[in-house]
Structure 1
Amino acid sequence: MRALMKQPLIRLFVTNGFLGIGFGMAIAAVLVAVDFRGVATLALTDPNGFVAVILLAFGLAVTCGGAAIATAVMLLPWEDDDHEGGSGGGGGGHRDEDRVLRPIPVRVVDRGRHGVPQIPRRD
């Protein structure tokens, strides 16, 4: 297990996953503490109300944990094969000067009003 945690990508996933899970659990605790939409009242009055709180906490933990891992992955710096150097944050290493706009000829077909094809009239 220690050898696995020495790999930076695995450590990034695990760290951000636990942070996201903790954040989701904290959100669930706050929602129950302030009795948002009657969650705490439901848990106290219903015989199986604790199930609602457990489902709320589990759902928020999974969602926030996955979002934290996904955000960490998307923010990783990466190398682009076409250009030298990485940009990080999704730029792909492209500079605005590298992109040249060229017009492309496009054939336009008259489709009538609002893009609806016209039906030929029978006279």
Structure 2
Amino acid sequence: MTTSIKALVRLKLPKDPLFRLLAVNGLAGTAIAGLVLGGIFLGNIGNLRVLVMSAEDPVLPVIMLAFGLFITLGSVVMGSAIMLLGDNSRNGNGGGGSARRRLPVFFTGQLKPVPVPAKAGCRHDLRR
């Protein structure tokens, strides 16, 4: 019986690694948004809970706030996951994201100044 419950609970994730990354981080972002929404109402930030409960239809403001938080925080978590794809600092290069990569050097010769002649021309009056 526990195997059937595990099969029901298990999410069907996409096989493509990029879409799987986006789906997992999107779900994490919506969970964080749910926690933030609960914290806003639990802490009564800006007297928002009292305003919503005294509204004629309290469901609509909650849905609108939840939708905005889900879009915003879901996008933030998904975007940060995308931006961290090429980060090699988590693969044993030490802590922090300040590991600099060495760029290939294409020029190894000496730099020489190049003379550029300036042509003398009439000056334009900029006050016109």
Same fold, TM-score > 0.5, yes or no: yes
Q: How many residues matched?
A: 97
The Cα of 1:99 is off from its aligned counterpart by: 8.7
CA RMSD of aligned residues (A): 3.6
Choose between structure 1 and 2 for higher RCO, CA contacts under 8 A separated by at least 6 residues.
2
Identity rate, percent: 29
Unpaired stretches in structure 1, ≥5 consecutive residues: 79-88, 108-116
> Residues 42 and 99 (structure 1 numbering): CA distance in 2 closer, same or farther, change over 3 Å?
farther
Q: Per residue, is there more helix in 1 or in 2?
A: 1
Pick the structure with greater CA Rg: 2
Write out the 4+ residue segments of structure 1 that deviate beyond 2 Å after TM superposition: 96-100, 102-107
- Confirm whether residue 17 of structure 1 aligns to residue 26 of structure 2: yes
Q: Take 2:50 and 2:127, find their aligned partners in 1: how far apart are those partners? A: 62
Question: How has the CA–CA distance of structure 1 residues 6 and 41 changed in structure 2, closer, same or farther, with 3 Å as cutoff?
Answer: same
Q: What do the CA deviations read for 1:85-123 (whole angstroms, capped 9, x no partner)?
A: xxxx7x9x95267498x899999xxxxxxxxx9415xxx
2:60 to 41, 51, 59: 51
In structure 1, C-alpha distance between the alignment counterparts of 2:114 and 2:70, rounded to whole Å: 49
Determine the C-alpha separation between the residues in 2 that align with 1:99 and 1:68: 38
Match of 2:35 among 17, 20, 26: 26
Tell me the residue number matched to 2:102. 95
Query: 2-side partners of 1:36 and 1:99: how far apart?
Result: 57
Q: How far, CA to CA, are the matches of 2:126 and 2:21 in structure 1? A: 58
